Amino acid sequence: MEINEKNLSLTSNEDSTSSISMTSIKTAMETPSPEEEAQRNKRNSIMTRVITAIVLITFALPVVLLGDWFIFVFICVTLIGAIWEIIKCGRIRYSVFMYVVTLISSIFLMVMPLIRGLMTKTGGIRISEYFIDINFSPLIVFVVILFLFLAVIVDKNFTVREACFIFTMIFIIVFGLQSALYIRYIPSSVNHDIVTVASDTTAIIDNSDYFNVDDNFYTAFLLLWVCMSGVLSDTGGYIFGMLFGKTKMNERISPKKTWEGFFGGIVFSFALCTLVGLMLPAFTQGQVVLLRGVLDLEHWYNILILALILPPTSVIGDFVFSSIKRFNGIKDYGNIFPGHGGILDRIDSLIFSCMAAATYIFIWEFFVS
């Protein structure tokens, strides 16, 4: 009996050990390896980025196409979010006074052309009239500087260095977003002049596609073209960098960017943007152009020059805002857009592209036209 009990105990122990081993094997088989987990996270991240991008395009594209007050309000909301992110990126707790001063100063700089225009004009409100010039009032700039340094006195955590940084970023962001408005509104202004001249000469005007007297969807093509340049530069840079990238540009700021990707992105963007800019008027017999009198078939060289300027400018914008993130030890400016980060993570290159495009067009119209 004792022998049977011992055998039974041994058999029971063997079954228990076997059961534990089978459970361990099953658990090991069900638990993904670190490589599989990384691949799964990467797929989820890509899916999140794609979904977010689709939602952003679905919302932003109609705003850009409609223009007028729609894009003005959209740009102002974007400005508030971008300035908020710049203030927060330093991870320093400031006083409420500093936040209020910075946000009000930014909005005031942004809408000053509209306020000045409404004070000096009578009649209807046509928003595109007030953003067809690039200028900053010295008085307004002085007031912004004054209030920022007043915040230095009031807020013990807000130093002179932070004041200079915030002022610089306010100027860059406001100038970039005002440039986006300029690029969107300047074709509308040209349309308005054409329609007015035609009306004065009793010509027959085909305005069936106009939705607010002097604006139509074609006037949005210039801003979309500038945005396309930045997207193509990023896409080309990624493809060429992945295939041929060996020489790092600046690992401290952007570890993945290479010189091969940089030049590949420029060539890729230049080729496609030039093709679109020239084929658009060619296929419509000159009826649809990026900007009549500046970026059309008659001035084809301007399309080539601007298509060459925009891609490197876009990369510079990316580097500028990336360097700020690296300095402050943050990955993204925010998390409002899942998979993409904050507002500034999405518009960093666009800000500099719009500044370059608007400056080129403004100089051409001022000195040549």
Residue 29 lies in a domain: no
Q: Is residue 83 a contact partner of residue 170, using CB atoms and an 8 Å limit?
A: yes
CA distance 297 to 186: 18
Residue 50 lies in a domain: no
Overall number of domains in the chain: 1
pLDDT (average), residues 52-67:
88
DSSP 5-65: HHHHHHHHHHHHHHHHHHHHHHHHHHSPPHHHHHHHHHHHHHHHHHHHHHHHHHHHHHHHH
Quick one: pLDDT at residue 131? 84
Quick one: pLDDT at residue 206? 45
pLDDT 10s digits, 135-182: 777 777 888 888 888 888 988 888 898 899 999 999 999 999 999 999
List, in sequence order, the alpha helices (H) in the chain: 2-30, 34-66, 68-88, 96-120, 138-154, 160-200, 221-244, 259-283, 300-328, 343-367
**pLDDT for residue 37 is more than 90:** no
Q: Mean pLDDT over all residues of the chain?
A: 81
Residue 118 lies in a domain: yes
Q: Enter the DSSP assignment of 298.
A: T
Quick one: pLDDT at residue 18? 52
Quick one: pLDDT at residue 302? 94
Name residue 48's amino acid: T
Residue 4 lies in a domain: no
pLDDT (average), residues 46-70:
87
Joined together, the tokens standing for residue 281 give: 């008027």
CA distance 116 to 148: 23
pTM above threshold 0.95: no
Joined together, the tokens standing for residue 112 give: 């000053």
Quick one: pLDDT at residue 260? 92
**Angle in degrees, 0-180, between the axes of helices 300-328 and 221-244, rounded to the nearest 10:** 60
Residue 31 lies in a domain: no
Distances, alpha carbon 36 to alpha carbons 27, 41, 124, in Å:
15, 9, 62
Residue 196 lies in a domain: yes
**pLDDT for residue 74 is more than 60:** yes
pLDDT 10s digits, 243-295: 888 888 888 888 888 999 999 999 999 999 999 999 988 888 878 889 888 88
Q: Minimum mean pLDDT among 168-182, 203-217, 304-318: which range?
A: 203-217
**pLDDT for residue 334 is more than 50:** yes
Q: Minimum mean pLDDT among 18-32, 76-90, 167-181, 281-295: which range?
A: 18-32
Residue 34 lies in a domain: no
Residue 221 lies in a domain: yes
Domain that holds residue 133: 66-367
Q: Is residue 265 a contact partner of residue 257, using CB atoms and an 8 Å limit?
A: no
* Residue among 189, 178, 179 at smallest CA distance from 111: 178
Quick one: pLDDT at residue 191? 63
CA dihedral 286→290→294→295, nearest 10 degrees, is -80
